[in-house]
Amino acid sequence: MTTLPSAVAEARAILDRLGVPASTLDGGTLAARSPVTGEILASLPEHTPARAAAAIDAAHGAYLAWRQVPAPRRGELVRLLGEELRAAKDDLAALVTLEAGKVISEGLGEVQEMIDICDYAVGLSRQLFGLTIASERPDHRMMETWRPLGVVGVISAFNFPVAVWSWNAALAFVCGDSVVWKPSEKTPLVALATQALFERAAARFGPDAPSGLSTLLIGGRAVGEALVDHPKVPLVSATGSTAMGRTVGPKLAARFGRALLELGGNNAAIVAPSADLDLTLRGVAFAAMGTAGQRCTTLRRLFVHDSVYDTFVDRLKSAYPSVPVGDPRAAGVLVGPLIDKAAFDAMQSALDASRAGGGRVVGGDRVEVGGPNAFYVAPALVEIDHQAEIVKAETFAPILYVMRYTELADAIAAQNDVAQGLSSSIFTLNLREAELFLSAQGSDCGIANVNIGPSGAEIGGAFGGEKETGGGREAGSDSWKAYMRRATNTVNYGTTLPLAQGVTFDV
Ligand code: NAD
């Protein structure tokens, strides 16, 4: 077993620099743990549901004030937040590495994504536009306007522990909403650090930023439920497993709250006969093994055409053992740890089920790094001749199931034949195949790519997926509309009162 340097002092020093007081980090019931070493970094006090409800009431008060601040001025707060994130990028990224186990470049990438969405939202703050629509009545004008919505609840998962908050919060703030965030109980420290950075930005912005505009709720499922159940939260944006969405979605529906659900994926790629195999190898390797298979967009199923199967899969099998697994703080390491023992056990039982279903497994063993409470694995590749039940389930670990196909239509049908609908790719140089894949007869996912893997996305596009992935869309395009309410306004500037559809009602 290779031991690693302790993560505790480093995490504490970063938190101190980012403005999280040491006095808030101990004596509580929530253990903040590092998957890098398995050490406990802090023991945080948790919110009770009652305290959470009080915080949400305060956030509602903040919204009532914030909605009156002009949107471009609201954008200025988000610009300042982006500046704070730029200044703190290295520290916050290092904390993401310590608490979520991401390798250095992915930790930095996560914070860069926060900066990018802030920039995007600043521009958006001057573009929250509606339409003018032709009225059927004379001397009438009809238009739609977008108004702030209220308190936006954000529930986030461990694997994008801060970026997901920023996708929601940057947009919500410019839209005139306040935000209450319940981060993953597995990554509370990066959330505390992010909140501290927000507070720095708000202090620079001045008194127009009401207290309670951004609130953090520390705790697990019970605190999340308090957010979901609170009547003053008109929108809950919840990112996590499909199991979580299955509970949260109906609860919101029962009180007519809006749900923006970003749930599990089971993403696939097709390698067609004309694929550029060098490029495909890199695309597949990153998408399947990057982030130790712990992205919602991780490549989990690969359909390879018969004519290139042996060549390509042999190369892939040689690439797998060459990928460096280990301390994510170390330069050159590409695959860090799994988040915890439960993730390791789930991976091992999925591999056992694959073997039982006829799968031939390469990799998947534990890599002895970091001590008994850290869980590193060699990414696994499983050749299997059909989509067994285990292939159709999302196992949140680096397992790639590889299957053979002969007809593209069959590969597309197999790709779509799972409950999830997040991300998908085709590797081909054939225009007809690429266009078919993107067409109505093609991928049924929210994200469909050509000649890049399914994993990762830019903030300019709308991000999210169909079916059991939940249907929500976040980040770019017109995703901002989810954070506002639309009002249709009709103005009569004439002297008569014509009714629509020619109805008469003379009194
Ligand atoms: P998880 O479902 O265990 O937890 C996610 C969050 O939901 C946590 O904050 C948790 O406390 C909270 N939660 C759980 N049950 C709840 C309930 N009943 N009410 C309110 N809150 C509740 O997920 P995880 O293990 O942290 O993350 C991994 C999962 O997230 C994977 O399935 C992955 O695909 C998915 N994910 C999806 C996206 C996406 O954009 N589609 C992005 C990241 C992660």
Task: Render pLDDT for 251-307 as a digit per residue (tens, 0 to 9).
Answer: 999 999 999 999 999 999 999 999 999 999 999 999 999 999 999 999 999 999 999
- Does residue 231 lie in a domain region? yes
Q: Give DSSP secondary structure letters for 340-393.
A: SHHHHHHHHHHHHHHHHTT-EEE--PEE-BS-TT-BEE--EEEE-SS--HHHHS
**CA 276 to ligand 1 center in whole angstroms:** 36
Task: Render pLDDT for 469-484 as a digit per residue (tens, 0 to 9).
Answer: 999 999 999 999 999 9
Question: Residue 100, class by beta-carbon neighbours within 10 Å (0-12 exposed, 13-18 middle, 19+ buried)?
Answer: buried
Q: Closest ligand 1 atom, CA of 296?
A: 34
Q: Using CA atoms in the order 359, 399, 262, 229, what is the torsion angle rounded to 10 degrees?
A: 90
The percentage of residues in the chain with a pLDDT greater than 70, rounded to a whole number, is: 100
241 touches ligand 1 (CB under 6 Å): yes
Q: Using CA atoms in the order 401, 404, 407, 409, what is the torsion angle rounded to 10 degrees?
A: -10
244 touches ligand 1 (CB under 6 Å): yes
**CA 247 to ligand 1 center in whole angstroms:** 11
Cα–Cα dist 155/124, whole Å: 23
Q: Closest ligand 1 atom, CA of 186?
A: 26
Question: Residue 356, class by beta-carbon neighbours within 10 Å (0-12 exposed, 13-18 middle, 19+ buried)?
Answer: exposed
pLDDT tops 90 at residue 125:
yes
Same domain for 81 and 176?
yes
Nearest CA to ligand 1 atom 12: 221
3 state DSSP class of 186? coil
What's the number of domains the chain is made of? 2
Same domain for 298 and 426?
yes
**CA 108 to ligand 1 center in whole angstroms:** 22
Q: Closest ligand 1 atom, CA of 227?
A: 20
Same domain for 63 and 187?
yes
Same domain for 76 and 94?
yes
**CATH number of the domain that residue 84 is part of:** 3.40.605.10
Query: Is 262 designated active site?
Result: yes
State residue 478's pLDDT score. 97
- Does residue 3 lie in a domain region? no
479: left (phi over 0), alpha (psi -120 to 50) or beta: alpha
- Does residue 496 lie in a domain region? no
State residue 489's pLDDT score. 98
422 touches ligand 1 (CB under 6 Å): yes
- Does residue 504 lie in a domain region? no
Q: Closest ligand 1 atom, CA of 339?
A: 25
Burial 125-149 (b: 16+ CB within 10 A, else e): beebebeeeebebeeeeeeeebebb
Provide CB contacts within 8 A for 51, sequence distance 6+. none
- Does residue 505 lie in a domain region? no
Cβ–Cβ < 8 Å for 201, 83: yes
Give Dmax (Cα) for the chain. Answer: 89
Q: Which of 106, 230, 241 to probe ligand 1 with, by most ligand atoms within 8 A of CB?
A: 241
Question: Please, what is the average pLDDT of the chain?
Answer: 97
**CATH number of the domain that residue 314 is part of:** 3.40.309.10
- Does residue 216 lie in a domain region? yes
**CA 263 to ligand 1 center in whole angstroms:** 7
Cα–Cα dist 112/93, whole Å: 9
Same domain for 21 and 148?
yes
Nearest CA to ligand 1 atom 13: 221
Residue of 232, 156, 165 lying closest to 195 (CA atoms):
165
Looking at residue 452, what DSSP letter applies? S
State residue 1's pLDDT score. 79
Of 10, 110, 185, 262, the catalytic one is 262
475 touches ligand 1 (CB under 6 Å): no
247 touches ligand 1 (CB under 6 Å): yes
The band of 424, judged by pLDDT with boundaries at 50, 70 and 90, is very high
State residue 483's pLDDT score. 98
**CA 145 to ligand 1 center in whole angstroms:** 33
Same domain for 193 and 325?
no
State residue 456's pLDDT score. 84
State residue 190's pLDDT score. 98
Task: Render pLDDT for 170-202 as a digit per residue (tens, 0 to 9).
Answer: 999 999 999 999 999 999 999 999 999 999 999
State residue 2's pLDDT score. 87
461 touches ligand 1 (CB under 6 Å): no
Provide CB contacts within 8 A for 345, sequence distance 6+. none
Same domain for 138 and 158?
yes
**CA 159 to ligand 1 center in whole angstroms:** 9
**CA 265 to ligand 1 center in whole angstroms:** 12
- Residue that the structure tokens 């507070």 belong to: 199
State residue 347's pLDDT score. 98
Cα–Cα dist 124/313, whole Å: 45
Cα–Cα dist 393/154, whole Å: 26
188 touches ligand 1 (CB under 6 Å): no
Average pLDDT of span 408-419: 98
Same domain for 240 and 329?
no
Same domain for 371 and 430?
yes
- Residue that the structure tokens 């001025």 belong to: 73
Cα–Cα dist 463/465, whole Å: 7
Question: Residue 203, class by beta-carbon neighbours within 10 Å (0-12 exposed, 13-18 middle, 19+ buried)?
Answer: exposed
Cβ–Cβ < 8 Å for 426, 414: no
Task: Render pLDDT for 230-245 as a digit per residue (tens, 0 to 9).
Answer: 999 999 999 999 999 9
The gap from C-alpha 230 to its chain's centroid, in whole angstroms, comes to 23
Same domain for 304 and 281?
yes
What sign does the dihedral 434-436-442-447 (CA atoms) show? positive
251 touches ligand 1 (CB under 6 Å): no
- Does residue 493 lie in a domain region? no
Same domain for 222 and 371?
no
Same domain for 170 and 292?
no
The band of 105, judged by pLDDT with boundaries at 50, 70 and 90, is very high
167 touches ligand 1 (CB under 6 Å): no
- Does residue 1 lie in a domain region? no
Q: Closest ligand 1 atom, CA of 394?
A: 32
Domain that holds residue 352: 267-459
pTM higher than 0.90, yes or no? Answer: yes
Q: Closest ligand 1 atom, CA of 155?
A: 9
